[in-house]
Amino acid sequence: MKEFLILLLLALLASSCGFRKYVWFISLGYGAAVALVGAGLLCPFSGSLSAGTILQCVLFIVYGCRLSGYLAYRDLKTAYTRRMKGEVKSDKNVSFAAKVGIWISAAVLYVLQTSPVLFRLQDNKDTDALCLIGFLISLTGLLLETTADLQKNRAKKKNPGRFVDTGLFRLVRCPNYFGEMIFWTGVFISGLNVYHTAAEWICSLLGYAGIIYVMFGGARRLEIRQDKNYGNDPEYRKYKSTTPIMIPFLPIYSVKEHKWLVA
C-alpha cells in the first residue's frame, strides 16, 4: 500500500500540468506520469530488481517521454491546436473542482495501469517467461504507436487536407490507439503469475480495462471529427466502410453510435 501511494503521488505530480491546460491531464501529463512512475519503481525496489523488471521500468520511461515529447511537438509546432479549436472544451468552461476530479482519477488510472510491474517487484519475482513475453508485446506496441505517429505526420505534411490511409493506416484507421492497447496488453500479461490476491487482480484489471475504454473513446471522438471533416468525400466513405477502426482484420468499422464511449 505504501508503494502504491508513493506512485500515486508521483503520478499526481507529473500530471499536475493539466491545471495549466486541462486536456494535459490526459495527454502530456499521461506520458509524464508513466515515465515518472517507471523511474519511481526503480528506487524503492533496488534490492528486488531483475533484468526483466528493469527493462519494464525503462520501457515505461521511454514510452512516457516519447508520448509527452510527441504531444508537446504536435501542440506547439503544428496546426493541431488550431484544428481542434472549438472541438475541445475551453479551460474557462471547466471548473476547478472538475479539474481536480480529472487530475485525481487520471493519476489513479495511470498507477493502476503500471501496477503489474509493482506487484512483480513486491513479489520479488525474478525474470521469467511471462515477464519477457509481456515486455516484447509492450515493445511491439510502442513501435507500432511510434510508427503510426510518424506516418501520420509525414502524410499530413504532404497533404494536410486529406485523411490518412497510407502505411499502417491501410490496415486499421487508428493504428496509434491499437499500438497503445498492445503496449498495455503486454504490461497486463507480464503480471499474470504475480496476481495473488483479489485486490491485485482488481487493480490490474481496472487499469487494463480503463485504458482500453479510453482508447475506444478516443477512436469514437476521432471518427466523429473525421466524419465532419471528410464525410462528403467518397474516398473517405469507402475507406471507412472497408478498414477496421481499431483492430486490424476485426470487422468493426464504426463506434460513433456507442455513446457510452465518452472518453
Domain ranges of the chain: 2-242
State mean pLDDT over 78-84.
52
State mean pLDDT over 6-30.
92
242-247: long-range pairs with CB below 8 Å, 24+:
243/165, 243/169, 243/170, 243/171, 243/172, 243/173, 244/171, 244/172, 244/173, 245/172, 245/173, 245/174, 245/219, 246/172, 246/173, 246/174, 246/177, 246/178, 246/181, 246/215, 246/216, 246/219, 247/172, 247/178
Task: Determine the Cα–Cα distance for residues 75 and 176; give it in Å rounded to an integer.
Answer: 17
Residue type, 7: L
For the stretch 121-171, pLDDT in tens is: 999 888 899 999 999 999 999 999 999 999 999 998 899 889 999 999 999
* pLDDT in the model for residue 79: 52
Residue 92 DSSP one-character state: G
Q: Report yes or no: 64 and 34 within 8 Å, Cβ to Cβ.
A: yes
- The band of 225, judged by pLDDT with boundaries at 50, 70 and 90, is very high
State mean pLDDT over 87-113.
85
State which of 18-27, 97-106, 254-263 shows the largest mean pLDDT: 97-106
* pLDDT in the model for residue 135: 97
Q: Is residue 116 predicted with pLDDT exceeding 70?
A: yes
User: Which of the pair, 261 or 197, is modelled with greater confidence?
Assistant: 197
Q: Is 249 exposed, middle or buried (0-12, 13-18, 19+ CB in 10 A)?
A: exposed
* pLDDT in the model for residue 57: 95
* pLDDT in the model for residue 90: 62
Q: Is residue 46 predicted with pLDDT exceeding 90?
A: no
Q: DSSP states of 41-60 as a string? A: HHTTTTTT--HHHHHHHHHH
Would the pTM count as exceeding 0.85? yes
Q: Report yes or no: 142 and 62 within 8 Å, Cβ to Cβ.
A: yes
For the stretch 211-221, pLDDT in tens is: 999 999 999 99
* pLDDT in the model for residue 40: 93
